[in-house]
Chains A and B, each alone.
Chain A
Amino acid sequence: MNLNLLHGVVGQSVPRVDAEAKVLGKGIFIADLFFPRMLYARVIRSSEPHAKITHIHLETARLVPGVPAILTAEDIPGRNEIHVVFNDQPFLAPGRVKYVGEPIAVLAAESPEIAEEAAEKITIEYEVLPPLLDPLEARWHPDIHLFGKDNIYRHLKVRKGNIEDGFARSDVTIENEYRTPCQEHAYLEPQGMVAVPRPNGLMDVYGSMQCPFYVQEGVATVLGLPLSRVRIIQTATGGAFGGKEDVPTLVGVQAAILAQKTGRPVKLIYSRDEDIISTSKRHPGIIRYKSGAKRDGTLQAIEVEYILDSGAYATLSPVVLWRGTVHAGGPYRIPHVKVDSYAVATHKVPAGAFRGFGSPQILFAAESQMDELARALGMDPCKIREKNLLRLNDETITGQKLTFSVGNLEAFQKTVETSGYLKKRNQKKETPGPIKKGFGLSSVYYGVGLGAGGIHLARAGAYVQILADASVQFAVGTTEMGQGMATVLTQIVADELGLPFDAVTILETDTSRVPDAGPTVASRATTMSGNALKDACGKLQESLFRAAGDLLQISKESIQIKEGWAVDSGKPGHRMTLKEVIAECFKRRENMAAAGFYRSPEVSWDDETGRGNAYITFAYATNAAEVEVDTETGVIRVLKITAAHDVGKAINPQLVTGQIEGGIVQGMGYTLTEEIVTKNGSVQNPNFSTYIIPTIKEAPEIDPLIVEAPFPNGPNGAKGFAEQPLMGIAPAIANAVYDAIGIRIKELPLTPERVWAALREKEGRDKRSSH
């Protein structure tokens, strides 16, 4: 069928659909939700990183008036299990705790104050056991077993070519060990849920989340309910960044089990420190990276060992590791590859999903190595990248041939040219005084969607309904968490149905409206829900075209619809409003509601060889950072970041720009200041006066650039976009710091203390060698 759709709002920076509510403070977040007779929950947590629970004293807490329920592992009606990738995580610790902050009991009380009072009266006796806190010690530990026999959640491999040959052919090899810190999501809104029991054993759960279908599964499992009796409704979600992927399941069940027990609504809102102590973070990484290249800069081989400190339960670590492993080489052609990666269990709060999902750690190493190779070869870091960047029909390290949508070189060139990188670097003068300037680059690529690591979830449902007044409601199973999905999808639906943007309304995400859409992660919502919506809209277009053709007395193939009009493509003056067309459809008693579904294209992965077509497509980016280093204090100031991103199609350029800016600043925090510090497994900086995220004062000048290499399977050519802006910021800054002061710092964050110590050490070395 000739779908002559014209572009209306796709490609335009229309304002966010939720902008007004948010600016005016009218958004209903979970803390704003109240129900009659509502109770308030508290979670009682482990104070030990590793211990046997010998006794839980609940007696005094039970005496506190107004505490209708206190529940421990023994009171669970269903299975004591939170399924993420494996089933190793209990909902409440059954006799043994494995991290500080692990939930042991939950209680509900008439007020938050009573809940707190009762929680304080619960004492837990432990038999303390020795914890494993260092992943290198934990891996293959002979006596202490957290997971399996070796404390390894997953070991992954990539094998390509022949690594011995590769290094033999290399004129230079560089080998280094890099370390990256534990990063906290620091979303504006802490975790929270409200569970509302309904008649007939139904349970509704409202909350802040990315993945309602995960919460649904968790609630059903632990409460012993069929999925059909559990309904999850997402409330306005104030940021997530991966931190609301698996964790809300735990929070939702905590509220729901108390609601089930008491028959009353239960609200649970985490405090900031409770949130930081007990919820997932970015995995600390150890990356041993050896790279080899020929004299002309051609990459020959990489050999990588990648270790992720994954914490006490597997949660998402097996798939975080997978993404990291697949991205180990960066966006380059590398003929000989050997990667071994390990997700290692330790007695710490489980690490999980965080923007970039295992790739920022390894890319910090990979992109630092590129600069080190360039230096060893006497090349500009720009030239070595350009030479090796993946181009159309090249192969990734897992053997995936890139046959379309490769905006790698274009993004690279756009950044290099726009930033004036080469000119600035060449004109750089030795400045007197303590402040030194530097310029650095990083190039990254990002496998869009879940890829072969999560293929079983790579589908999405959608629902679209045209109403009698020519307005439209639609629903999807993915979520808006601030990233802009609701706006982008509204744009897509408006154009698909030829109606104005304002005529289209997105409904809140609710598991009862559409089939399981999988998680809202991996930058997948636009492509997955976008395609599912197109499928639904396609069904409605048939009725529209038929009615319009009849009314205009032309063949339906000649009809174009755009912004409220049905037009005769042969005779543009010959037209009528879609309002009339839709009225006609209703008169004919046409079905004006449609369900849509999308299954993403096949991908593949072989665990043994580490080869396969890992992702449906890749997005590409290059960052250029301009920094100043104060050599007396070690303070780094990021002056400017230029970043070009190939997004396939920018459905809303302003939202793309917003993602670039936000990702850069979050990446800057990761690079310069952010680090969760633990002592005997216990978080030492669970608030924002000691866990230091950037403020607007640190935010550099940002030049966001958009490249569009259309993705044939994406809605309107779009690939996913959200994580990429953060991924390459650390190496871009670290490379700029090297350019400024000639020091390679291989451990993040680049705190003034660390930079200063490195400067003094170099001074010492320089002095000794000049004697």
Chain B
Amino acid sequence: MRISGVQTYSPKNLEETLQILYRHPLQFYILSGGTDLVVKMQDGVIHPKHLLNLSFVRELKGFSSEDGQIVLGTNVTFGEILENSLFRKQAEPLYQAAKCMGSPQIRNLATLGGNIINASPAADSVPPLFVLNAEVCLESVNSIRWVKIEHLAAGPGKTIRKPFELLTKIRFPIKPASWHGGFLRLGQREALAISKVSLAYWGVLENGVIQDIRLALGAVAPTVIQPPKTEAFLKGNTLTETEMTRVAEILKTEVHPISDIRSNETYRREMCGVLLKRALRQLMTQCT
């Protein structure tokens, strides 16, 4: 498929962007880094006539850390996340996810917002945002709402965003330094691969006992999921090998993977258990 006859609008500020979107919500496709959108255009999956290019909207860039929380503009790229020690120190799961995402070229273009709205069950930034307790801001000319990340996706490629709404910001609370986390994934290769299974964790361990923990998994259900039974089992637990084997079994009952061109159901389910055990061992070392 060739891309032709597409008109691109590049507003200079948020106000103008929201206006265009409000007036023509269905005509416009929103373009951030384009690493999902342009691929779909090229494949002939979508045929936009008008693109709303966010590249020049200053309000959507950059990030800040204040009042106990980190706020990111939707157009922060994975490359920028990697370049900043703030994320390495205070958002380890997100930092690690950014590290294994795509390739340098992709990371320089791909934005956090695009990854979120694309709503792939395998989106690598989303499990970290789940465990970090993130919220996203959906704005329009006359409305603004903060939605918990776990309420945003409605299925593969679907979100509850209304057509005239723009994702503008992502925020999550800063936890005390005793919290640690990470992101583990299996892909078909080391780089430029879509996750077959991914797991983010964020927790705090004291004297070998889990005080609190959050987990999220990618590519094992129609959306990224959080495993409540597994989390409940882990809280207050000590991480002996037997307990870890038990909790891995619980996790396997909470995921709903499929077989596709990248992997099969059994393998994906079993790997959830393996990644969980690895995550917990990693957490133990991080917390000592």
Contacts and interface: CB of A to CB of B under 8 A. Distances in A.
A634 B194 CA distance: 18
B64 interface: no
Interface in A681-708: 684-685, 688-690, 692, 694-698
Contact of A113 (B2, B103, B192, B270): B2
Nearest to A697: B190
Interface residues of B, number: 21
A631 to B, nearest CB: 10
B143 interface: no
B186 A752 contact: yes
B274 interface: yes
B189 interface: yes
A677 interface: yes
B186 A690 contact: no
B189 A692 contact: yes
Interface residues of A, number: 24
A492 B274 CA distance: 57
Contact of B261 (A112, A677, A694, A697): A677
Nearest to A694: B189
A690 B262 contact: yes
Given A690-B261, A690-B262, A756-B267, A695 B189 contact: yes
A116 B1 CA distance: 8
Interface in A372-409: none
A761 interface: no
B4 interface: yes
Interface string B240-251: 000000000000
A125 interface: no
A685 B260 CA distance: 11
Contact of B264 (A692, A694, A695, A753): A753
Contacts of A346: none
A692 B188 CA distance: 7
A684 B267 contact: no
Contacts of B103: 695
B2 A112 contact: yes
B160 interface: no
Contacts of A697: 189-191
A632 interface: yes
A312 B180 CA distance: 57
Contact of B267 (A694, A695, A752): A752
Nearest to B187: A692
Contacts of A633: 186, 271, 274
B4 to A, nearest CB: 5
A635 interface: yes
Nearest to A271: B1
B238 interface: no
Contact of B193 (A635, A684, A692, A757): A692
A673 B189 contact: yes
B19 interface: no
Interface in A594-637: 632-635
Nearest to B4: A113
B255 to A, nearest CB: 16
A685 B267 contact: no
Contacts of A688: 192
Contacts of B190: 695, 697-698
Interface in B102-136: 103
A695 B274 contact: no
Given A113-B4, A756-B270, A689 B194 contact: yes
A697 B189 CA distance: 8
B66 to A, nearest CB: 37
B211 interface: no
Contacts of A692: 188-189, 193
Interface in A631-686: 632-635, 673, 677, 684-685
Contacts of B262: 690
B10 interface: no
Contacts of B186: 633, 635, 752
A645 B267 CA distance: 39
B189 A685 contact: no
Contacts of A752: 186, 267
A112 B2 CA distance: 8
Nearest to A760: B270
A696 B103 CA distance: 11
Query: Chain A interface secondary structure, helix, strand, loop or mixed?
Result: loop
A689 B35 CA distance: 13
A460 B189 CA distance: 43
Contacts of A632: 274
Contacts of A677: 261
Interface in B153-201: 186, 188-194
B263 interface: yes
Interface in B198-220: none
Contacts of B192: 688-689, 695
B46 to A, nearest CB: 16
Nearest to B186: A633
A590 to B, nearest CB: 56
A184 to B, nearest CB: 14
Contacts of B188: 673, 692
Contacts of B4: 113
A672 to B, nearest CB: 9
Contacts of A113: 2, 4-5
Contacts of B264: 753
B191 A695 contact: yes
Nearest to B268: A753
B2 A685 contact: no
B189 A698 contact: yes
Nearest to A690: B261
Contacts of A756: 267, 270
Most B C-beta atoms less than 10 A away, residue of A112, A632, A684, A688? A632
A233 to B, nearest CB: 27
A697 B192 CA distance: 10
B2 A116 contact: yes
A364 to B, nearest CB: 21
Contacts of B263: 753
A691 to B, nearest CB: 9
Interface in B4-40: 4-5
Contacts of A684: 261
A14 B130 CA distance: 55
Nearest to B193: A692
Contacts of B274: 632-633
A756 B197 CA distance: 15
Contacts of B191: 695-697
A752 B187 CA distance: 10
A101 B115 CA distance: 34
Contacts of A635: 186
B2 to A, nearest CB: 5
B20 to A, nearest CB: 27
B105 to A, nearest CB: 12
Nearest to A692: B188
Nearest to A272: B42
A229 B271 CA distance: 62
Contacts of A757: 267
A685 B262 CA distance: 10
Contacts of A116: 1-2
B140 to A, nearest CB: 34
A692 B191 CA distance: 11
Nearest to B264: A753
Nearest to A687: B43
Interface in A157-209: none
Given A113-B5, A116-B2, A673-B188, 19 more contacts: A113-B2, A113-B4, A673-B189, A677-B261, A685-B261, A689-B194, A690-B262, A692-B188, A695-B103, A695-B189, A695-B190, A695-B192, A697-B189, A697-B190, A697-B191, A698-B190, A753-B267, A756-B270, A757-B267
11 contacts: A633-B274, A673-B188, A685-B261, A688-B192, A692-B189, A694-B189, A695-B192, A697-B191, A698-B189, A756-B270, A757-B267
Which 8 pairs across A and B sit closest by C-beta, in order of nearness? A697-B190, A692-B188, A697-B191, A753-B267, A632-B274, A695-B191, A690-B261, A113-B4
